[in-house]
Structure 1
Amino acid sequence: MHISAKADYAVRALLELAREPARPLTCETIASCQQIPFRFLKSVVGELRRAGLVRSQRGCEGGYWLGRPADEITLLDVVRAVDGEVIMLRGENLSALDYPGPATGLPGVWRRIEADAVSVLAGVTVAALLPAGTPAREPAAEGAV
């Protein structure tokens, strides 16, 4: 099994946004707090923005906010936003996988593993990962700074 750096960095970035409710955060701040390479994080945050998991505002008062409440963002949402599929085999989706002969049952095992991973990821929200006592960040109103 492989968890991508993109998925790990994306969740960590969302956790930083979720724990800082008073102001937007810049990629520089998130990268520094989580020790994530800045250039890589910029790309990851762009994917999160396109998926609606974060939103941004330009300018000196700008930065990033959660696109939805932290308790409505699951790890499955994050993985799908940055990686697409949860589990791939040699770059292919598991749904079309078919083997001949004695290996006929193997694709079903891979699909069960994927289903279990999807279940776990769908059952964990960003809010659930915040340390105890950390307020879950509510998305700021559109245009708010």
Structure 2
Amino acid sequence: MQVSARTDYALKATAELAYASVRESGPVKGEAIAETQKIPKKFMENILLDLKRSGIVRAQRGASGGYWLARPAQEITLAEIIRAVEGPLADVRGEWPELVEYTGAAERLREVWIAVRANLRAVLENVTLADLVEGELPEAVTNLTSSPEAWIHH
């Protein structure tokens, strides 16, 4: 899986908003998020707009305005954020894996793509913004990262 800059930035931005909600510091300016997380400001604005459209964040204009999470951080999964800015977690040439047809020696490839999607979901649908901010990832995730093999680039 290739994680785009858009996805990476959206996750970092929402983590900042989750952190602000824990501190109860009120709305956070998009510029502040961009500066803290080293995200280009224009790119940040577009991402925040997508997150607002999807109902993940709320916004208020004006001097005391900014962005905040629309729901508690423990209710927002990483999968939801990724879908808001990129679409489906896993597709094959822009199609749902279950709709792709293979024949001959490649016939079972569709099942492989379904399994890949299921594994992405198993992680991304079970990690919330609260998990990130609190530094406590679910045990299933920490079990995966505790394997030395997980850290080796192939």
TM-score (norm 1): 0.87
Query: In the comparison of the two structures, how many residue pairs are matched?
Result: 132
Q: Which runs of 5+ in 1 are unaligned?
A: 133-145
Q: TM-score, normalised by structure 2?
A: 0.82
More helix by share: 2
| Cα distance in 1 for residues equivalent to 2:75 and 2:134 | 17
| CA-CA distance at 1:131 after TM superposition | 4.5
Give the ranges of 4+ consecutive aligned residues of structure 1 lying more than 6 Å apart after TM superposition.
none
In the TM superposition, what whole-angstrom CA distance separates every residue of 1:6-36 from its partner, at most 9, and x where no partner exists? 1111111011111122121111000000001
Instruction: Answer 1 or 2: higher relative contact order, Cα 8 Å, separation at least 6.
Output: 1
Identical aligned pairs, as a percentage?
44
Task: Give the gaps of 5 or more residues in structure 2.
Answer: 136-154
Q: How far does residue 45 in structure 1 lie from its aligned partner after superposition?
A: 0.6
Q: List aligned pairs for 1:119-138, cutoff 5 A.
A: 119-132=122-135
Which residue among 29, 35, 39 is the counterpart of 1:36? 39
Question: What is the rounded CA distance, in whole Å, between the counterparts of 1:90 and 1:38 in structure 2?
Answer: 30
RMSD: 1.1
How many Å apart are 1:90 and its aligned residue? 2.1
After TM superposition, list the pairs within 5 Å mapping 1:1-145 onto structure 2.
1-20=1-20, 21-132=24-135
